[in-house]
Amino acid sequence: MTWFSKFRKLPFWSWFWFLLGVLYFVLPLYATLDFSLRMERGTLSLKAYEVAFSDPQFLNTFLYSIFLAVMTIIFSIALVVPTAYWIRLRLPQARRIVEFITLMPFVVPAIILVFGLIRIYSSPFEIPFTSIVIMQPLTNFKVGTNILIIGGYTVLGLPYMYRSVDTGMRTVDVRTLTEAAQSMGANWGTIITKIILPNVRTALLSGALLTFAIVVGEVVLASFLGIPAFGPYLFLLGQHRAYEPAALAFTTFLLTWAAMGIIQMVTGGQGQAAGAH
Amino acid sequence: MAYLELNDISKLFGKTIAVENFNLQVEKGELVSFLGPSGCGKTTTLRMVAGFELPTSGKIIMAGRDVTNQSPNQRDVGMIFQSYALFPNLTVAGNVGFGLKIAKKPAEVIKKRVAEMLELIHMPDFGSRYPYQLSGGQQQRVALARALALSPDVLLLDEPLSALDAKIRVSLRSEIRSIQQELGITAIYVTHDQEEALSISDRIVVMYNGHIEQIGSPFKVYNFPETAFVASFIGTLNAFNADIIDPKTNTIQVDHIQLVTQESLGDRKVGDKIMIAIRPERLSFSSEQKKANLINCQIENITFLGSIVRIAVKSEGTHFYMDTFNNPFLELPKVGETVEITCSQQAVIILQH
C-alpha cells in the first residue's frame, strides 16, 4: 500500500475536505446574514428586513420574477422533454448536435443574447419583398416583451434543463416503455404525459430548480428589455443602500429553496419514478 | 383463411436483408414460436406483426384485416418484452388497467378486469405494489396480465423469459402456455432457447439469416429436421457427408462405415454426395439381435449430464456422440475400450441442404 492510498483512506481528510467545501458555501451566506442584521449600530436587529419588505417594489418584482420563472420552466419542459425523448427514441445521431446547441449559452454571453433579441424583435415583421406588416415589434408591447424574456431565459436554462432531462431518460428504458404503451393503444401525447414525464420527474425537478434560480437572480436580460424583475431591482438597491440588499439576498435564498421544497412536496406523492430507486 | 397471415414479408435495413420472403399462416388459438440464433430476423418479424417496424414488402392480415400499414396503437395486439417494460410510475393495478384506461372503459369495468387478470396470474393481492417491489418472475407475470387485459387478437412474446433464472423460466413458461390455452389466444413466441420452443409451441418456425428453414410441430422439427441448420441448431447432432453406394437398398457410406437409411434416396445415383444426420439418443450399444448399421468404435470420452450420459466414440477418423439414459445401475465401458454401436434405419436422416 503506497503512502498516497493510506492518506486517502484516512476519514480525517475526507471530513476535512467536506467541511472545507461546506465552509466555502456557508460562510458567505452567514456573512450576508450577519451583515443584514447590523443595520442598527451595536445591536442585532431585523431593521434592514423591515425596511426592505416595506418597499412595495420588493414584492412586485419578486412575484414578477416568480411568474417569469414558472413560465420559463413550463416552456422549457414543453421544449426539452419531447426533444430529448425523440432523440433517444428515433434520432440518436442528432444527440451531439443538440448537446452542442444546448451548451451555446456558456459560450455566448447573456449581453449578446439580449442585443440579438432586441435587434431582431424590435422591428415589425413584414412579408418579404412587400411592406405588409404581419406582426408589430415584440418589444413594443408587454406580452411581446414577456415572450422575449421567457424565450431568452429558456435559452439560458437550456444546458441545465436538457442535461437533467437527458440523464433522467437514461435511467428508464424509453424505447421499450414507449412500445409497451403503444401496443396498449396509447398515442404520443398519452405516452409523454402518462409514462415519460412521471418517470423523469426527479430529473425535471432538478432542471426546474436550476432554471428557477437562474431566472430569479438574472439581471442582464431583464434590465435591457426593461422588465420590472427582481434581479434589476436588487442591483439598483445595491447601488444606493447598504444593509437592505443583504437582507433581500438572504431572503431570496430562503424563498427560492422554499419554492423548490413546495414543488418537491406537490410532486412527491405521485409514486416513485424508476430513476429514484 | 388463417387468423394471422404473413404473406411474402421482407424487411431491409438499408442494404441489409433482415427478413426475406417470410410466409406464415397462424390459426386461431395456436402458439407459434420463432426459433433461431441472434440476428436471424425473428424479433424483426415479430416487431412487424406488432407494428413497430414496417415491412419493406408483403402483407400482414390479422383477424381478416390488413394491418400492414397500421400503427401499433391501431392494431389489436398485446406484447410482452424481455425487459418486462412495466411502467415504473404505476402500481401493478395501474399497469394492468393502463390499456383499459386508454380505451376509456368505465372505472368499474377496469377494476373488475384488473382483479380477474391478477387472479389469472395468481397475484390477487399485489395490485397496490410498484414494479420495483416485485421479483423478475412476478414482473413478467404482471406484464402478461397487462397484455391480456385488453383481450388482444394476437399475443406477442419477445423472449419473455430470457432475463429470468432457470427454475423460474421453466415454471413461468408452463404458466404462459396454460393461460394461452385456457384463453384460446393466438400467440407468437420469439426465443433462441430450443427447449423453451419445443416445450410450449404448437408449431415452431426455425429461422436462419432472415429465412424460414423449417415450419413444423416440435416433434417433427426435432425428429425430422429438413435442413442441416435445423438439425444442428436443435439438439445435439451427428452430421456427416456421405456417398451413395446403392440407391436401390438405400445404402450409403460415411468414410469407411456403411449405413442403411429408411428414407428414399430418390433419383440419386451411385457416388452422389448427400448429408446425413443421426441424433445421439438414436445410437445404442449393439445387442445380439441388432445387426444393421453396426459401427465398430472406441470410447473417447464419457460425460455425465444428469439425466443422460453422453459418450464420445471414434470409428477410425469418424467421431460420434451417443446418449444413454442415466440410472444408478448403469454399467458403462471404460475410455479406450472397443465397443459396437448401432442405430435403426429410421435414425439415419437425410438432410435437404
If you write DSSP's letter for every residue of A206-234 in order, what string do you get? HHHHHHHHHHHH--HHHHHHT---HHHHH
List all residues 6 or more positions away from A194 whose beta carbon is below 8 Å from its beta carbon. A181, A186
Q: How many CB atoms lie within 10 A of CB B337?
A: 11
For the record, the C-alpha cell of A126 comes out as: 413584414
Whether A272 shows a pLDDT value over 50: the answer reads: no
Closest-approach residue (CA) in chain B for A194: B89
Q: How many CB atoms lie within 10 A of CB B58?
A: 18
Asked if residues B139 and B131 have their Cβ atoms less than 8 Å apart, the reply is yes
List all residues 6 or more positions away from B132 whose beta carbon is below 8 Å from its beta carbon. A272, A274, A277, B88
Say yes or no for a CB contact (<8 Å) between A272 and B50. Answer: no
Return the pLDDT at A277: 36
Average pLDDT, chain A: 86
3-state secondary structure A150-190: HHHHHHHHHHHHHHHHHHHHHCCCHHHHHHHHHHCCCCHHH
Whether A95 shows a pLDDT value over 60: the answer reads: yes
What pTM value is reported for the model? 0.78
Return the pLDDT at B288: 63
Q: Which is nearest to B7 in space by CA: B261, B212, B255, B191?
A: B212
Classify residue A170 by burial, with Cβ atoms within 10 Å: 0-12, 13-18, 19+: middle
Chain B residues with CB inside 8 Å of A184's CB? 73, 78, 98-99, 102, 146, 150
Q: Between B27 and A265, name the one with better pLDDT.
A: B27
B91 in contact with A, Cβ within 8 Å:
yes
Phi, psi of B38 (to 5 degrees): -60, 140
Per residue in A202-248, pLDDT (tens digit) is: 888 888 888 988 898 899 999 999 899 989 998 888 888 888 889 98
Return the pLDDT at A261: 78
Q: How many CB atoms lie within 10 A of CB A201?
A: 19
Return the pLDDT at B239: 87
Return the pLDDT at B289: 59
Give residue A113's Cα distance to chain centre.
Answer: 17
Phi, psi of B197 (to 5 degrees): -65, -45
Return the pLDDT at A65: 92
Judged by CB atoms within 8 Å, which residues 28-57 of A form the interface with B? none
Q: Which residues of chain B have pLDDT under 70?
A: 288-291, 353
> A58: pLDDT confidence band, cut at 50, 70 and 90?
confident
Return the pLDDT at A37: 92
Q: Which of A142-151, A181-190, A265-274 has the lowest mean pLDDT?
A: A265-274
Distance between CA atoms of residues B128 and B273, nearest Å: 65
Judged by CB atoms within 8 Å, which residues 147-186 of A form the interface with B? 172-173, 176-177, 179-186
Say yes or no for a CB contact (<8 Å) between A271 and B83. Answer: no
Distance between CA atoms of residues B48 and B25, nearest Å: 15
To the nearest 10 degrees (0 to 180), the angle between helices A201-217 and A142-170 is: 140
For the record, the C-alpha cell of A228 comes out as: 420590472
3-class DSSP state of B335: coil
Distance between CA atoms of residues B273 and B256, nearest Å: 15
The alpha-carbon radius of gyration of chain B (Å, integer) is 25
The alpha-carbon radius of gyration of chain A (Å, integer) is 23
Question: Which one of B51, B73, B75 has the shortest CB-CB distance to A186?
Answer: B73
Return the pLDDT at A1: 57
